[in-house]
Amino acid sequence: QVTVRDALNQALDEELERDERVFLLGEEVAQYDGAYKISRGLWKKYGDKRVIDTPISEMGFTGIAVGAAMVGLRPVCEFMTFNFSMQAIDQVINSAAKTCYMSAGSIAVPIVFRGPNGASAGVAAQHSQCFAAWYGHCPGLKVVSPWSSEDAKGLLKASIRDDNPVVMLENELLYGVPFEMSEQAQSKDFVVPIGKAKIERQGTHVTLVSHSRPVGHCLEAAAVLAKEGVECEGGGVINLRTIRPMDIDTVEASVVKTNHLVTVEGGWPQFGVGAEICARIMEGSAFNYLDAPAVRVTGADVPMPYAKNLEDNCIPQVKDIIFAVKKTLNI
């Protein structure tokens, strides 16, 4: 069993060792071992040139990272939370995402933007937003969103090796969660291909599609529903893993089998990841196999409240997923 934190740390360590062009920068990543201890031990091992503490200026250090990527280095740029990436969104979108296209492919920007995304616990509106839909909207970026330790390690290694800008949206509440990791997943050659979803649980009645922390909620909901005779498949038990490019083929194949679709995410409903999945299913051949309207389970359409009881009501819970499944199955 390996925690998500240790899986990310392993991935960074292995990639820093493998390729001397890789370096890490951000607030508190070096001497303090990282605000969330993701970069623990790396500064002591690799020194000031490879693991760099920055001032509290997202626009500044993100710009430095993007410039470094343009001249052939491979930076890993950590945001203490993705809410603070708003300070640097000009660098992420205008400088990183668009440059390859605008230079007719002559300038690659091999950079990874990573850090915690979405709601943590008790940190109110300024720290709780999910940016999967924001960054997933923008051509020129790849966007990944891991759930398990295997996802985290494999996607981070794949992202560092990719020649495009990649946004990696982790979840703070998952960092300390242990997951089973196979020997293969712990090898230095292990990568999870970007753009491929993973079926976490097979089923016949309903397709549940999710990413990041809600994948766990979907699996819990599927276990409860299975006792009641409902077999779920999707992040409930299709784990998207990648937001852009989205693996809609895996979702379509499942919907053809189950005839029902429920999407689950922590982000806001309007223009969300679930909205995109529903639209793509609507436009494709799988639409003809749906026996009921697709249902979205999302965060509440409000900035996150600070109070615990209100926060719980704003984030999709297992009971909300079960309710949505029963609604779409009309039971």
- How far is 246 from 263, CA to CA, in rounded Å? 14
How confident is residue 230, by pLDDT bands cut at 50, 70 and 90? confident
- How far is 62 from 270, CA to CA, in rounded Å? 28
Q: Is the pLDDT of residue 232 over 80?
A: no
CA distances from 289 to 197, 253, 274, 276, 281 (A): 21, 10, 18, 18, 10
**Contact predicate 85/165, CB 8 Å:** no
Catalytic annotation on 127?
A: yes
Nearest in space to 250 (alpha carbons), one of 226, 269, 232, 234: 234
Dihedral, CA of residue 274, residue 280, residue 283 and residue 284, to nearest 10: -130
DSSP state of 266: S
Q: Is the pLDDT of residue 233 over 80?
A: no
- pLDDT tens, 13-45? 999 999 999 999 999 999 999 999 999 999 999
How confident is residue 234, by pLDDT bands cut at 50, 70 and 90? very low
What pLDDT was estimated at residue 235?
38
* For the chain, percent of residues with pLDDT exceeding 90: 95
How many angstroms from the chain centroid is the CA of residue 200? 16
The active-site residue out of 14, 15, 27, 58 is: 58
Domains and CATH numbers, the chain: 2-186 (3.40.50.970), 198-329 (3.40.50.920)
Q: Is the pLDDT of residue 89 over 50?
A: yes
List Cβ neighbours of 284 (8 Å cut-off, separation of 6 or more). Answer: 248, 252
262 forms beta bridges with 208, 295
- pLDDT tens, 183-203? 999 999 999 999 999 999 998
What pLDDT was estimated at residue 229?
85
**Contact predicate 24/42, CB 8 Å:** yes
What residue type is assigned to position 45 of the chain?
Answer: K
The active-site residue out of 14, 27, 78, 127 is: 127
CA angle 59, 64, 65 (to 5 degrees): 100
Which segments of the chain are extended strands (E)?
Answer: 2-3, 22-26, 51-53, 74-78, 112-116, 142-144, 166-170, 178-179, 198-199, 206-210, 232-239, 242-244, 261-264, 295-297
The single residue listed with the structure tokens 């616990």 is 121
- pTM for the structure as a whole: 0.95
